[in-house]
Structure 1
Amino acid sequence: HLEVLGERNSYSKTDPDATFMRMKEDAMKNGQTKPGYNLQTGTENQFIIDFRLFPNPTDTLTLIPFFHSFQHRYNRLPGIGVADSGYGSEENYRFMQENAIEAFVKYNYFHKEQRPRYTPNPFHAESLHYNAGEDYYVCPMGQHMNRIGTRRDKTASGYITESARYKAQRCEGCPLHGSCFKARGNRIIEVNHRLNQYKRQARERLVSEEGVRHRGRRCIEPEAVFGQMKYNMAYRRFRHVGEDKVTMDFAFFAIAFNIKKMCAKLRKAGKEFITLAKAIFIGLFITRYNGNIATCYQMNEKKAA
């Protein structure tokens, strides 16, 4: 039992490779879990350029293995990575920076910051003034919050994060105590400076002209692929059991999907049938070795087994 379970918290009796997870399609509206796979796809110009199945429902842990899968297939990493806020973690940002991948990856509250009426909480740790030279924060009452230590946490993937801890000196009797924090004693905040730096870099990219263009493209890239897959082709669940067979299942679907997309694009461009047939024949054999992929738009979909 434990050998089959591995690092997961559940598995299906009919398909031991499938993990129970919440699906986007919930007819009963009760959050019922079903055995399935977390399907991650990379697209460019609405062509499926890579895919991989994962047993864990959390998207954060899938980005780096997906890039490794991409590298194994094309012998290189993409120059640009575009993904939603579910992939915005310190580990993922660091991996992309160290591998020269220009990251247009949102973080968890990016959309909230872009609202016209958004006003940051003045008592939030990220809103406090920080003196980088002497390493201390200043609370809304002007009191220094000095560093008292460092907290280290390990993520599910084994990555170590470090958060600096700062403590105020005299919070008792402060007129802003009720608005600042509710606990007794002096306030303590924890700040992950490295993650905040990655978020600032991500924000600068995302609000730039190129970032706005990539964010707009992402809505019509992987979203359109899954929309055609589910609603136009009725491909809503896998028809085989076991990770190997499910991978084969979707691989054949991806090949057929790309051929259909290629035919539609060539037909729209007014190409003759002979040119179309040649393009399809060549495309089938060089797709694996194509090195001209510049941008990888990533998207996830949890499919029932």
Structure 2
Amino acid sequence: MCEISKEFKEALGSAPEAKTKEEKAAQRGKNKMFKELERHGEKLAEYNSRLEQMEGRNSISKTDPSATFMRMKEDAMCNGQTKPGYNLQISSENQFITDFALFPNPTDTLTFIPFLGSFPGRYGRFPKRVVADSGYGSEENYRFMDEAGIEGFVKYNRFHLEHRPRYKPDTFHPDSLYYNEEGDYYICPMGQRMSRTGTLQTRTEGGYISQSACYRAIRCKGCPLRCLCYKAKANQRTIRVNHRLNSYKRKACELLTSEEGIKERGRRCIEPEAVFGQMKSNMAYRRFRHMGKDKVVMDFTFFAIAFNIKKLCSMMRKVDKKGRKASFYGKFVIIFICYMHKLEICQDKFEKMTA
């Protein structure tokens, strides 16, 4: 656009002087077009700079380029209005904040691996076990935990639905069909064989490639269960099954329904949710007071330190059954050192930014 604007300007400068009315009117029209072209060029340059700042995101805020427009839980107008913000992820142990991270994407699925990936650099190893809700249950995250040796009590999207007392599985759902693992084929409710036809690869937003096997029935025309089985116009039903994800789901279901899993699921409700409840309701910390990711990280780092100190003091005031005060100095020192390390990182970034 800049080159076109320069060529147009040179052409206007080298043009002979207008003498007649028609030539002057044409000259004014060309000048007007040149001004519009310059204005569009400036806008295009601004849009290109915004696209570079977005770094693959879908939106950007003018006041805080690091923030992304998201739907907040606090929606006073109840119209789904989006506001610039960050996706805050925390890990807690006994309601102490042990780590946190801020992400520009609103979905929790894409934050799981980067968040856990920071643990070896800070603590020297991955956590032995992770408890999370269904928002983090994906094939990519399950595979990461399996390869890292993490015992994951992570729910998948249909876990609560499948464990309801009145839940009845759909007879025609691919998960309910009989599968022959040796022959690699399915059997439909009418007893017809569904052979494998190929493999479909899909790429997630995080770049992970997922593979799904495709199976197709031989002939569905004239089947009395066709209207219940599927509603497509084709006479052959096709299903797609992700065998790797199904195996991860079965493993997760076994862990979640075990005695240890039930205990961890019960703790999940009172661990991070209690931290967020204290933060928003009792301490009125609902908005960040700075702009820019580095400053926001520094903002929440100070809050996390104050939160842990307050929690420690309240626990030290409690007296156990034997009349001795509970001691949590060791845990407090570890948490304080970790956050001081993060403060040093924030301070280095802030000094570079202000230099």
TM-score by length of 1: 0.90
Provide the identity percentage: 67
**Residue 70 of structure 1: aligned partner:** 119
**Residue 25 of structure 2: aligned partner:** none
| In the alignment, structure 1 residue 201 sits paired with structure 2 residue 251 | yes
**Residue 223 of structure 1: aligned partner:** 273
| In the alignment, structure 1 residue 86 sits paired with structure 2 residue 132 | no
Of 232-241 and 279-288, more deviation after overlay is shown by: 279-288
Q: Residue 282 and residue 48 in structure 1: after superposition, are their counterparts in 2 closer, same or farther (change >3 A)?
A: closer
Q: Hey, what's the Cα distance between the residues in 2 that align with 1:40 and 1:281? A: 21
Larger Rg: 2
Match for residue 105 of structure 2 among 34, 56, 59: 56
Amino acid at match of 2:274: A
**Residue 114 of structure 1: aligned partner:** 163
1:70 is displaced (CA, Å) by 2.0
C-alpha RMSD over aligned residues: 1.8
Q: Hey, what's the Cα distance between the residues in 2 that align with 1:6 and 1:284? A: 33
Amino acid at match of 2:286: R
Q: Hey, what's the Cα distance between the residues in 2 that align with 1:261 and 1:18? A: 30
| In the alignment, structure 1 residue 30 sits paired with structure 2 residue 79 | yes
Amino acid at match of 1:239: R
> Does the 8 Å CA contact 1:52/1:69 hold for their aligned counterparts?
no
**Residue 187 of structure 1: aligned partner:** 237
**Residue 310 of structure 2: aligned partner:** 260
SS, match of residue 269 in structure 2: helix
1:288 is displaced (CA, Å) by 6.0
Task: Write out per-residue CA displacement over residues 230-281 of structure 1, whole angstroms, 9 at most, x where no aligned residue.
Answer: 00000001000000000000000000000111111111136679x78x6698
Pairs within 5 Å for 1:1-305 = 1-184=50-233, 185-269=235-319, 282-283=333-334, 285-287=336-338
Normalized per residue, the structure richer in strand is: 1
Q: Residue 140 and residue 279 in structure 1: after superposition, are their counterparts in 2 closer, same or farther (change >3 A)?
A: closer
> Does the 8 Å CA contact 1:19/1:55 hold for their aligned counterparts?
yes
> Does the 8 Å CA contact 2:88/2:101 hold for their aligned counterparts?
yes
1:6 is displaced (CA, Å) by 1.1
1:172 is displaced (CA, Å) by 0.3
1:72 is displaced (CA, Å) by 1.7
Q: Residue 281 and residue 110 in structure 1: after superposition, are their counterparts in 2 closer, same or farther (change >3 A)?
A: closer
Q: Which structure is higher in RCO with an 8 Å CA cutoff and minimum separation 6?
A: 1
SS, match of residue 86 in structure 2: strand
SS, match of residue 182 in structure 1: coil
Amino acid at match of 2:255: R
> Does the 8 Å CA contact 1:262/1:280 hold for their aligned counterparts?
no
**Residue 351 of structure 2: aligned partner:** none
Q: Hey, what's the Cα distance between the residues in 1 that align with 2:330 and 2:143? A: 39
Q: Hey, what's the Cα distance between the residues in 1 that align with 2:263 and 2:86? A: 31
What are the ranges of 5 or more consecutive residues in structure 1 without an aligned counterpart?
290-305
SS, match of residue 80 in structure 2: coil
Q: Hey, what's the Cα distance between the residues in 2 that align with 1:76 and 1:177? A: 53
Amino acid at match of 1:82: V
Task: Write out per-residue CA displacement over residues 176-219 of structure 1, whole angstroms, 9 at most, x where no aligned residue.
Answer: 00000001220000000000000000000001000000000000
Amino acid at match of 1:109: R
Normalized per residue, the structure richer in helix is: 2
SS, match of residue 220 in structure 1: coil
Amino acid at match of 2:117: H
> Does the 8 Å CA contact 1:74/1:288 hold for their aligned counterparts?
no
Of 239-248 and 261-270, more deviation after overlay is shown by: 261-270
1:32 is displaced (CA, Å) by 0.6
SS, match of residue 58 in structure 1: coil
Q: Hey, what's the Cα distance between the residues in 2 that align with 1:27 and 1:7? A: 29
